[in-house]
Structure 1
Amino acid sequence: MNISQMARRMQRVRPSPTAVISDRVRALEAAGRTIINLGEGELDFATPDTISYAGIAAIVQHQTKYTAVSGTAALKAAIAAKFSRDNHLLFTPEEIIAGSGAKQLIFNALLATVDAGQEVIIPAPYWVSYPDMVTLAEGEPVIVACEEQHGWKLQPERLAAAITPHTRWLILNSPGNPTGAIYSAQELQALADVLSDHPQILIMADDIYEPLRYDQTPFATFAEAAPQLAERTLTINGVSKSHAMTGWRLGYAAGPAWLIAAMQVLQSQSTSNPSSIAQAAAVVALSQPADFLTDWLAKLDRRRQRVLTMVTETSGLSANTPQGAFYVFANCQGLIGRKTPTGERLTDDQAVASWLLSEAGVAVLQGSAFGAPGYLRLAYAVEDTLLEAACQKIQAACSQLTQP
């Protein structure tokens, strides 16, 4: 098949930058290079044993058949209990759906609600997949730049300026990827005040990093902070980041019954139900106390501080302190324009990331992939000794760069 045989929609979408960097890392490793990958959004911790054993038990007990498309009754009950316990939100089974990862549910929600030409407001920096999923749904991504001085959070006046009669969704991600920014309840309410005058706009709250927060930073989800807009809000979550279950592929969402029903129709014609085994494991994940998080957060916080120290000590780099997730979003504009020992000029953040990969053997993602040129995302969810080596290698590589 050649490109002329592909659907036109494929000409508007790019491969995921995170997948691209992972493929490049694998290729370099196959060629004999040792690469430290700070480009992937995945915890290095193992899924807690009690959760894994629940998956094994499901197999042994022959829970390996189709389930209801939107998830088992047991899983929906566990999801409802989680929302009630942690977020003070009450949902019926008809307002809940489980899918093969939060990513699938975001895509289904957009596909179910966005017509050609309708707009989706996406604050930048953003998770790399949001704009392309909007494009695949034939919508128009409206990128609204957020500023480092505002903690990378969307300001009400910027939101108001971006709204048009064609606006269909606002997507909010908190804690955020790639910045680790967390919206307070007051900040969410201020955005809700803007949205209250625009009843056509739906709000998507992507809370996938919810429990990964530092310095006792409180968490609020949009429907909790702005209950007057709850009927327009879809809350997305999952067990990938909270329980180190990326490979289990289990996400969940809750919102108005009409939207959940539409997402279920799409899911019934694509993937059908999420894995029955992953569902059984997720029931345990959502029902038992997450005692492991204390240790996980202590380790992540130590790693966060190590990367921030490295950034502070490296000429040409700076960064805000992230409140959540496991990324440092470092300003690398001080490196742009510098020259390598061979005389090559680093012209942009992509060039800086490529230099670090080739010279230091450390993979990071360029900020332009997240809609914020001039930055680098460093994922610090890697084993301590590897992270220490990565920090030293980044500093050494940067020290070789000279002013033009």
Structure 2
Amino acid sequence: VDGTRELKEAIINKLRRDNNLEYTFNQICVGTGAKQVLFNLFMATINSGDEVIIPAPYWVSYVDMVNLFGGLPVVVECKQNFKLTAELLKSRITKKTKWLILNSPNNPAGVVYTYDELKDIAQILLEYPHVNVVTDDIYEHIIYDEKFFTITQVEPKLYNRVFVVNGVSKAYAMTGWRIGYIAGRSDVVKAISTLQSQSTSNPNSIAQAAAAAALNGDHSFLKERTRIFKSRRDFMVKKLNSAPGLSASIPQGAFYLFVSCEGLLSKSTKSGKVINNDLDFTEYLLEDHLVAVVPGIAFGLENFVRISYATS
């Protein structure tokens, strides 16, 4: 139900090889994508009124998942470099805080937490032993100028409170295969597996075999793909920053740009429509230029748009 032995062994070896983390078979659950294991984690652990700290910008599903199970999303707007700081975290922790979600590299902004930034966050978490952490590491292998760290690497004392979520969709371009996994404390992972057994049962066995082959296989292609993505990133940042009214920071990972459109607010399109916010700007790009972007409000920050450079 919770993954073949072959795939679990590949995941254990991956976590040891890439992250210097040790897990056993009963600490791993494989689901139909990282989204499902996140969903099942919150279903298994969130009680009504539990608070979940979610740095914004965030992946669109986090808030809805927390709401669905009666939790209270505590959205922290991170306008300074799009990153949660230790000070911001401490200011939002209460007795009801159950979870902190960390996503690095981040969707939609592509920011990557450094070792020192994670160390500072970890020191705050050590002061509050009732707060658990879920790290969404799905873009781990799409990273440019920084080195990837997950928070348990940085502070091993958090090991029993951290749940690592990852998968094969981004690193290996296997989105349609729908294989994600979670690693963490065995009692919680057992609860996740029990829920999965009564809903979707096991992930597709063929996809599991393919995921094991990906995790165990040659990773040399990652370097060349990263070079291609970085070239696209640099091209798009340069072009967007030369456009009046737009401002794009340089992402350190993933394949998105989170572009400010504040400089275009109150401007009018050729058809006379006034751009009042990111939704208006998104609509203008689609209707007048057939360009599809995602409004920043979907990720928790207004007056930005997300642009993907994943496709050639």
Return the TM-score normalized by structure 1.
0.76
Matching residue of 2:184: 255
Aligned-residue offset at 1:342: 2.0
Amino acid at match of 1:248: W
Matching residue of 1:208: 138
Task: Give a deviation string over 1:137-184, Cα, whole Å, max 9, x none.
Answer: 11110000102xx32110111101111111100000000000100011
1:96 and 2:10 equivalent?
no
Matching residue of 2:158: 229
Taking the aligned partners of 1:193 and 1:356, their CA distance within structure 2 comes to 44
> Which residues in structure 2 correspond to 1:300-339 (within 5 Å)?
300-339=229-268
Taking the aligned partners of 1:175 and 1:205, their CA distance within structure 2 comes to 10
Aligned length: 312
Taking the aligned partners of 1:76 and 1:186, their CA distance within structure 2 comes to 31
Amino acid at match of 1:218: K
State percent identity of aligned pairs.
Answer: 47
Picking from 125, 129, 148, the partner of 2:61 is: 129
Partner of 2:264: helix, strand, or coil?
A: coil
1:283 and 2:212 equivalent?
yes
Taking the aligned partners of 2:163 and 2:190, their CA distance within structure 1 comes to 12
Matching residue of 1:343: 272
Picking from 82, 103, 106, the partner of 1:176 is: 106
- My pick for the range that moved more, 364-373 or 187-196, is 187-196
Taking the aligned partners of 1:342 and 1:247, their CA distance within structure 2 comes to 40
Taking the aligned partners of 1:191 and 1:259, their CA distance within structure 2 comes to 23
Matching residue of 1:189: 119
Taking the aligned partners of 1:315 and 1:74, their CA distance within structure 2 comes to 53
Matching residue of 1:390: none
List alignment gaps of at least 5 residues for structure 1: 1-68, 384-404
- My pick for the range that moved more, 319-328 or 341-350, is 341-350
Partner of 2:127: helix, strand, or coil?
A: coil
Aligned-residue offset at 1:295: 2.0
Aligned-residue offset at 1:288: 1.1
Matching residue of 1:82: 14
Picking from 45, 66, 71, the partner of 2:3 is: 71
Taking the aligned partners of 1:257 and 1:302, their CA distance within structure 2 comes to 42
Amino acid at match of 1:322: P
Taking the aligned partners of 2:194 and 2:52, their CA distance within structure 1 comes to 22
1:381 and 2:306 equivalent?
no
User: After the TM superposition, which segments of 4 or more aligned residues of structure 1 sit over 2 Å from their partners?
Assistant: none
Taking the aligned partners of 1:165 and 1:253, their CA distance within structure 2 comes to 26
Matching residue of 2:222: 293
Matching residue of 1:365: 294
CA-atom RMSD in angstroms: 0.8
Taking the aligned partners of 1:105 and 1:128, their CA distance within structure 2 comes to 16
Amino acid at match of 2:168: V
Matching residue of 1:120: 52
Aligned-residue offset at 1:345: 0.6
Task: Give a deviation string over 1:241-285, Cα, whole Å, max 9, x none.
Answer: 000000000001100101101100110111111110000001110
Aligned-residue offset at 1:370: 0.4
Aligned-residue offset at 1:214: 0.9
Partner of 1:196: helix, strand, or coil?
A: helix
Aligned-residue offset at 1:123: 0.1
Taking the aligned partners of 2:216 and 2:112, their CA distance within structure 1 comes to 25
Partner of 2:237: helix, strand, or coil?
A: helix
Task: Give a deviation string over 1:110-136, Cα, whole Å, max 9, x none.
Answer: 110000111100000000000000011
Amino acid at match of 2:197: S
Amino acid at match of 1:130: Y
Taking the aligned partners of 1:74 and 1:357, their CA distance within structure 2 comes to 45
Matching residue of 1:37: none
Amino acid at match of 2:140: E
1:269 and 2:201 equivalent?
no
Matching residue of 1:31: none
